[in-house]
Amino acid sequence: MRTTRRLVAFARPNNLPHPRLGISISRSVGTAPRRNRIKRLLREAFRLHQHDWPKGYDLVLVVRPHEPLILAEYQKLLTALMLKLHASWQNKK
């Protein structure tokens, strides 16, 4: 598990040749349009960078209340989280 001000991320190896994404976002984050915008941006950031990340992880993101960021910021955030989570799983082996 890794946390930032905007996201809490959980990862677990899934023995598949590709990563998978799950997003949990509560009403405390904001109105439905805000929540949907954040989910769309997170899914797009994941889609654009999933081929650069280590293969075979299930990634679950829990979104904390924040103003929506631009796509590039979510891309940086997800990449940093994924690399840290991968390193922590490598240390457990």
List CB contacts of 86: < 8 A, sequence separation 6 or more. 11, 53, 54, 57
Query: What confidence tens digit (pLDDT) does each residue in 29-87 have?
Result: 999 999 999 999 999 999 999 888 888 899 999 999 999 999 999 999 999 999 899 88
- 56's CB contacts (< 8 A; 6+ apart) are 13, 14, 15, 16, 17, 18, 19
- Statement: residue 92 has pLDDT above 80: no
Residue 8's pLDDT is 94
Chain segment 16-28, per-residue pLDDT in tens: 998 999 999 999 9
Cβ within 8 Å of residue 85, ≥6 positions away: 2, 9, 10, 11, 57, 59
Count of positions (residues) in the chain = 93
Domains defined along the chain, listed by start = 2-92 (3.30.230.10)
